[in-house]
Amino acid sequence: MECKDGSIIYPLPDDTVLSEKEGKWRINLPETYKEFVKKYNGGAPTKNRFKCSNYMYMIDRFLCILNITGERDDEYYDIGVVRTQLDERIVFDENLVGTELLPIAVLFAGDRLSQQC
């Protein structure tokens, strides 16, 4: 995969940060995803279109994993920040109660792409 120049969000997470996040989120990230985020943290892919259920989607950027300080504008793209926003929405949708979602990308027009855990 290739990302647009300057789109990767630094610092890249290391195994310690990933382990801390897994504990906080109470999930085990797939090894392939850990390797992906350690290389492309928050990057915007150059090939950004994919088809699912006969619909075309466009990825604006992948979400990143950061230690949140409140001092950076790009913290908006942190998985934990986005996950908190999604959790607040799920509480009010009785069809989704009990569903664990891990957001992994921002799609065109602000939608989120999530993986069910």
For the record, the structure tokens of 85 come out as 């926003």
For 7-56, how does the pLDDT look when each residue is reduced to its tens digit (9 = 90+)? 999 999 999 999 999 998 888 899 999 999 999 999 999 999 988 889 89
47 φ/ψ sector (left φ>0, alpha ψ -120 to 50, else beta):
beta
Task: Detail the DSSP E strand segments found in the chain.
Answer: 49-52, 55-62, 101-107, 112-116
pLDDT tens string 46-101: 999 988 889 898 999 999 999 877 888 888 888 887 877 665 554 555 555 444 66
Sheet with 101-107: list strands edge to edge: 49-52, 55-62, 101-107, 112-116
**What is this structure's pTM?**
0.78
